[in-house]
């Protein structure tokens, strides 16, 4: 999830910093990196956390989808047998983990 360094790098991808104890007040700005205000860092961290949480359904779906090997086998059998096994399996995962 989004830590202090993640937020800093989202604002300035070339920043060089060290952060102690995940504390915004314990940042060492290194190699001429210009400091970013604590407020900007914390706002970006909140934004990144919200983006992460908004995509929870994607992470949950990814864990539940059949392997790609199994999906290919389902597709082959569906084409051969005129069935909808693959579509049914994918839809079941989507239904169990709806998009917000």
Mean pLDDT of 52-60: 95
Would you place residue 43 in the very low, low, confident or very high pLDDT band (cuts 50, 70, 90)?
very high
pTM greater than 0.85 (yes/no): no
**Helix ranges restricted to H, 12-84:** 38-54, 56-64, 68-81
Mean pLDDT of the chain, nearest integer: 96
State residue 100's pLDDT score.
87
Please, what is the Cα angle at 26 between 23 and 31, to 5 degrees? 125
Percentage above 70 pLDDT, the chain: 100
- Buried-exposed string 9-30: b where 16+ CB fall within 10 A, e elsewhere: ebeeeebebebeeeebeebeee
State residue 2's pLDDT score.
85
Q: How far is CA 94 from the centre of its chain?
A: 18
**Does 61 score more than 90 pLDDT?**
yes
């Amino acid at each position: 999830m989004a830590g202090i360094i993640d937020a800093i790098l989202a604002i300035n991808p070339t920043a060089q910093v060290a952060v102690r104890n995940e504390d915004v007040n314990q940042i060492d700005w290194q190699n001429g990196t210009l400091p970013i205000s604590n407020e900007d860092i914390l706002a970006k961290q909140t934004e990144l956390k919200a983006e992460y949480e908004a995509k929870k359904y994607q992470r949950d779906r990814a864990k539940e989808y059949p392997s790609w090997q199994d999906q290919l086998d389902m597709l082959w059998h569906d084409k051969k047998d005129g069935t909808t096994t693959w579509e049914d399996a994918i839809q079941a995962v989507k239904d169990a983990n709806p998009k917000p």
